[in-house]
């Protein structure tokens, strides 16, 4: 049998010196790390200036951000006590950083388009509750004359698929194209709505629009300000007040996370949190607390009142009674 000569193997790295993807990766990660370190340094420098001017007891106001406290109050505690506890949040991967940048760019672009219809990126500041954040967009509905707040969420495929109609209350299920929001997204929107209502604005409705970064498809959730919303905010504000007191003592608040994916991949302090590591793998089961029956009755009554208003405005047809005035059956 004739012996074959070995063919020379091409050096696959000949063009490696021309590759720019590694440069992009390292530049993005370095920029993100620099931003985090710079933010920490700015906070410490501001604290030093305050103490130099007003004495050792002076301190920066302690505000917590709606996007963090709606996910987990313990996460907010880690963030607030990062320097005192000498903790460093886990850096995001390059893919996560790029996903954030793509979402932020699309977010800014869409808000720029919408600005002619309302006001964008308004600050929500509540001193008493220690909340500070920026809502995406607010407009006055031209038909109902009530204010609405819009929160945009740009997501990947997996997160987009998790937004379903399952769990919608019956008075919202009748409306096509409405989805049940993730619990943390609903709470964040409620915080913005509550903050604006505290200022005297008649904010009657909130909207969460999820946009798939890959396909451009949208899903919308509607959150009415009703008895259910008020009940949820009352409970949350009590937990928030307790968390503020705990943080003042230099301790971490109790975890309030509801969605496992937050502990599994989102929280930058997950490596420090024993609770989160167990919750992420399903080792901790949360007991669902039922709302008082009166909350649901009142929410349904308010939904019926909203429908009557839409009937008067000619937006929807009036519901026909089951019997006519003489007691004969009518059309169902």
For residue 186, which phi and psi values (nearest 5 degrees)? -60, -45
Query: 267 or 44, which is more confident?
Result: 267
Instruction: Tell me the per-residue pLDDT of 49-65, one tens digit each, with 9 for 90 and over.
Output: 888 888 877 676 778 99
CA dihedral 79, 81, 85, 86 (to 10 degrees): 60
pLDDT (tens digit per residue) in 199-227? 999 999 999 999 999 899 999 999 999 98
Amino acid 12: pLDDT: 64
Query: Can you tell me which residue has the tokens 């407009």?
Result: 139
Instruction: State the average pLDDT for the chain.
Output: 84
Is residue 294 over pLDDT 80?
Answer: no
Task: Compute CA distances 180 → 161, 169, 208, 210, 211, whole Å.
Answer: 12, 9, 10, 11, 14
Domain ranges of the chain: 26-59, 61-280
Q: With beta carbons less than 8 A apart as the criterion, state whether 186 and 175 touch.
A: no
**Residue 228 CB coordination number (10 Å):** 20
Residue 253 has pLDDT above 70, yes or no: yes
Fold entry, domain 61-280:
Lambda Exonuclease; Chain A (3.90.320)
Q: Report the pLDDT averaged over residues 61-79.
A: 91
For 261, phi then psi, to 5°, come to -65, -25
Give the pLDDT confidence of 31-43 residue by residue, as tens digits: 888 887 777 788 7
Round to the nearest angstrom and report the end-to-end CA distance of the chain.
90
pLDDT of residue 296: 61
Backbone angles phi, psi at 143, to 5 degrees: -90, -50
pLDDT of residue 331: 46
CA angle 42, 79, 52 (to 5 degrees): 35
Q: Reduce the DSSP state of residue 63 to 3 states and report it.
A: coil
Least confident of 31-45, 161-175, 243-257: 31-45
Q: Are residues 144 and 158 in contact, defined by beta-carbon separation less than 8 angstroms? A: no
| Residue 316 pLDDT grade (very low, low, confident, very high; cuts 50, 70, 90) | low
Residues 181 and 172: beta-carbon distance below 8 Å? no
- Per-residue pLDDT band for 1 (boundaries 50, 70, 90) equals low
Q: How confident is the model at residue 292 (pLDDT cuts 50, 70, 90)?
A: low
pTM: 0.81
């Amino acid at each position: 049998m004739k012996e074959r000569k070995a063919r020379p193997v091409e050096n696959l790295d000949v063009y490696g010196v021309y590759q720019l993807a590694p440069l992009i990766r390292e530049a993005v990660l370095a920029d993100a790390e620099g931003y985090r370190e710079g933010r920490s340094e700015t906070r410490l420098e501001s604290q030093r200036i305050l103490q130099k001017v007003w004495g050792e007891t002076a301190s920066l106001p302690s505000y917590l951000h709606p996007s963090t406290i709606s996910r987990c109050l313990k996460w907010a505690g880690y963030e607030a006590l990062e320097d005192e506890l000498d903790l460093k949040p886990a850096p995001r991967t390059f893919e996560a950083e790029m996903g954030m940048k793509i979402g932020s760019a699309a977010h800014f672009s869409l808000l720029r388009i919408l600005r002619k219809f309302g006001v964008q990126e308004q600050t929500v500041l509540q001193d008493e509750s220690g909340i500070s954040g920026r809502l995406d967009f607010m407009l006055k509905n031209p038909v109902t004359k009530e204010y609405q707040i819009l929160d945009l969420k740009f997501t990947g495929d997996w997160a987009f698929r998790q937004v379903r109609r399952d769990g919608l209350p019956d008075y919202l299920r009748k409306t096509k194209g409405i989805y049940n929001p993730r619990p943390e997204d609903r709470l964040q929107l409620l915080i913005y709505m509550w903050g604006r209502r505290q200022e005297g604005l008649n904010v009657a409705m909130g909207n969460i629009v999820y946009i798939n970064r890959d396909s451009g498809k949208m899903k919308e959730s509607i959150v009415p300000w009703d008895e259910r919303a008020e009940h949820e905010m009352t409970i949350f504000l009590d937990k928030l007040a307790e968390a503020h007191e705990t943080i003042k003592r230099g301790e971490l608040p109790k975890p309030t996370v509801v969605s496992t994916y937050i502990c599994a991949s989102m929280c930058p302090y997950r490596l420090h949190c024993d609770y989160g590591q167990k919750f992420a793998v399903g080792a901790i089961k949360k007991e669902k607390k039922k709302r008082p029956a009166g909350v649901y009755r009142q929410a349904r009554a308010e939904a019926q009142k909203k429908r009557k208003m839409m009937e008067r405005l000619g937006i929807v047809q009036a519901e026909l009674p089951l019997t006519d005035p003489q007691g004969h059956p009518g059309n169902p």
